Amino acid sequence: MTQDEATVFGIIGLGYVGLPLGVEAAKSGIRVIGFDVKETVAAGISAGRSHVQSVSDDDVAALTESGMLSATTDMSSLRDCDVISICVPTPLSKTRDPDVSHILAASEAVTAGLKEGQLLILESTTYPGTTREVLLPALEKTGLHIGKDFHLCFSPERVDPGNKAWFTKNTPKVVGGITPSCTHAAVNFYERFLDTVVPVSSAEVAELTKILENTFRAVNIGLVNETALIADRLGIDVWEVIDAAATKPFGFMKFTPGPGLGGHCIPVDPHYLSWKMRTLNYKTRFIELASEINAEMPSFVADKVREALSRIQNSVDGSHVLLLGVAYKRDVDDVRESPAIDVMRLLRADGANVSYHDPFVPELDEGGMQLTSVALTEAVLTEVDAVVIVTDHSDFDYEWIVDKARVLIDARHVAPREGREVGSGWIVKG
């Protein structure tokens, strides 16, 4: 692999992982070629436009104009790259099994142009063993030898959409290679444009590291969500309990309940490990229980809407319910696995007329529902029968929302509650 400034970095997949990675590399003086199967993505980047919220149009335009960043759908140009990073989606199938079809397609494209000296890095989250068991055999069919003729590593993406403090450049980068020389090559490369690189002993260690990170969050969120269900039955405000527990200076990490899990990582990644362990006749009990509890939370929120409406002698059937926020987390435009979709579906099944407002999601086309975000006006808030805060976007005026809403259910504990709260911390007004 070339180590001078002439290094060409190819990135397969220009989504929320690949494009920020490419921009950081290009800013450091490494020429980047981005590859994507979508012509609209490649054309947009070539025209200086970003489709990823965390990357500005100005950065993309400046880098494309300087020749440091380009984008294409032509995979044959991979042979011109010294380093190739695979940042493609790894969804779950309907049976909750890993779908590695995008990785396989990327490996075929890489194999077709594999040349001596190339460094290949898989960044897509997947089950332990994927790099060695799926990618390596395909690459070795070329006759080139791992650790000598080419290098292969796994380096998990750690993107946290909407996080203003931690981003691609300053988030420590874990790297594990098939051989020590593979790890060394990847560390040398990443250190050219990332602040901190953390080498580990194998690709499998790096793969499991990513799964552990998100499983840790999923399990702890599952615990606090179950605590919320318990507290509700006891008539106790779970957020007061959590705030009190968080005063302990050791042995407690604060997690908060909510309407459920969303995004690509936390609801999905633990299932990669569950699937892998089922092939080894082992049941991942913590993971499966946490997933079950977290999946119940949209139903719990829908129940709170029913309860709040019943307090004013309304039924869900025929009521107009407004959801505030459909993105899976604060201040992002991503609706993947968003619990708001499930809340909406459950209320619609009960006969509710459900609309939504989300400044980050102007249009919603999910699960057979095609909706447009409504304007958040005083007329809208006063006319609907119930308002549900599902996503706690920072630009919502919660004081005003509480004041104008007839009934308010707060699944994020962000609305002012003084003199108002009923229903163990979930129903603020009703």
Rounded to whole angstroms, the Cα distance separating 301 from 294 reads: 12
Question: Which of these is catalytic: 87, 153, 182, 265?
Answer: 265
Q: Which residues of 93-116 are buried (b: 16+ CB within 10 A; e: fewer)?
A: eeeeebebebbeebbebbbebbee
Partnered with residue 386 across adjacent β-strands are 321
Q: Is 265 a catalytic residue?
A: yes
Closest to 29 measured CA to CA, from 48, 44, 50, 8: 8
Rounded to whole angstroms, the Cα distance separating 109 from 75 reads: 6
Rounded to whole angstroms, the Cα distance separating 320 from 54 reads: 34
Rounded to whole angstroms, the Cα distance separating 116 from 139 reads: 11
Both structure tokens of 95: 């049976």
Both structure tokens of 424: 């163990």
Kindly list the catalytic residues: 265
